[in-house]
Structure 1
Amino acid sequence: MKTLKNIFLIILTIGVLQSCVVSEKPNIDFFTNSKYDFKGVKFMSINVPTALAKSYIKKALKEDSENEETINLVKKASKIKVLTVANGSEKMINDYNQYLSDNHYEEWATIKHEGDNINIRVKQDGETIKNMLITVGSKQKELVFVDVKGNFTISDISKMINSVSVNN
């Protein structure tokens, strides 16, 4: 969990310090292409400039003594989008999960930590994973969605999940 929290904090810090695109409109497909009623929901989208983010994230992970699996995973990322949602609902999460299932995302791991649920889903093209979606939900109806595109192997993701699970 520490690794995922660090990645989220680093991405958000980069969003503030670097010239990335920050918007109050959602940047993840389910939320932009949905006829869902988002009344009362507040979004903050961050499109992270990957070229700038990679070196900063790798350096921060090394300083935090994170494992090589997580650092190697960051190296293979080609695009990172972050979406935070305030006032989300359980129904919205369930509908989002159904959307992912309908679009051939496979659930790889669910990690529970201090009341937060972290869900990792991937979309494969043969042996290559082209897209990884990480969802972090809390009891306070606050959600974080991280959409990571790249060329990952099954081994890359499994090692990262195992290292996060072992560290908690």
Structure 2
Amino acid sequence: MKRLKICFLLLMTSVLMQSCLVKSRPNMDFVNRHHLSKEAAVVSLNVPTYLVRPFVKNALKDGDEDQELIRFALKKLKRVKMMTISNSKNERLMKDFQKYLIRNRFEEMASLYSDGARISINGKFKGNRIKRLMLGIADDEDLVFVDIKSDLSIEELSDMIQHYEGQQKRKANM
């Protein structure tokens, strides 16, 4: 009976840990492996926050204002999926990304151009709550996509951005 319990626990642990493995295939619906060039290298990662929270909480010290902001953000995040594609010279992938956003009713929150890279920040809302954030970053050869599942209000996101900007100004003045 004891061996059965141990085997069951090992099996469950391996199933839970499998979701956060680094994979060499796409983990987002809009990417079709056949549309990628043969030289393209795909790295994808699924990170359930229930696995991340204990490690981050232990690493953070109590009392620091910045670390309190990180703790707050961790409470609001549910899942993070990330995918990078290197050496992809295919413009079709960004078009597929845009079609995916339209089809799934994401709203564009911001679109930036910085140092030759296009950055697209899109949100899926339910009332005034942000349920999912999709970030797409594209430069000459590399693409990075981040899918964040959350329960964050627009006001909370605004407060976090203002806190970060204030922190950057303080560092610049030092």
- TM-score, reference length from structure 1: 0.68
Rounded Cα–Cα distance in structure 2 between residues aligned with 1:56 and 1:110 = 33
The answer to whether structure 1 residue 133 and structure 2 residue 134 are counterparts is yes
Q: Give secondary structure in 2 for the equivalent of 1:135.
A: strand
Residue by residue over 1:72-104, the C-alpha shift from the partner in whole angstroms, topping out at 9 and shown as x without a partner, is 333211111111111233331122112212210
Question: 1:9-158, aligned counterparts within 5 Å?
Answer: 20-31=20-31, 34=32, 37-40=35-38, 41-57=40-56, 66=66, 71-88=71-88, 89-139=90-140, 141-158=141-158
Taking the aligned partners of 2:165 and 2:136, their CA distance within structure 1 comes to 16
Structure 2: unaligned runs, 5 residues or longer:
1-16, 170-174
Q: 1:156 to 1:29 in 2, by over 3 A?
A: farther
Report the number of matched residues.
148
What's the RMSD between the two structures over aligned residues? 3.3
Partner Cα separation in structure 2 for residue 37 and residue 159 of structure 1:
40
Structure 1 residue identity aligned to 2:23: S
Q: Which protein has the larger Cα radius of gyration, Structure 1 or Structure 2? A: 2
Q: Which runs of 5+ in 1 are unaligned?
A: 1-17
> What's 1:8 paired with?
none
Percent identical residues: 32
Paired residue type of 2:92: K
The 4+ residue runs of structure 1 with deviation greater than 6 A are 58-62
* Cα displacement string for residues 146-165 of structure 1 (whole angstroms, at most 9, x for unaligned residues): 11112111223334455566
Moved more, 155-164 or 22-31: 155-164
Deviates more, 1:84-93 or 1:146-155: 84-93
Secondary structure, in 3 states, of the residue corresponding to 1:29?
coil
Tell me: CA distance 1:97–1:60, structure 2 relative to 1, closer, same or farther (3 Å). farther
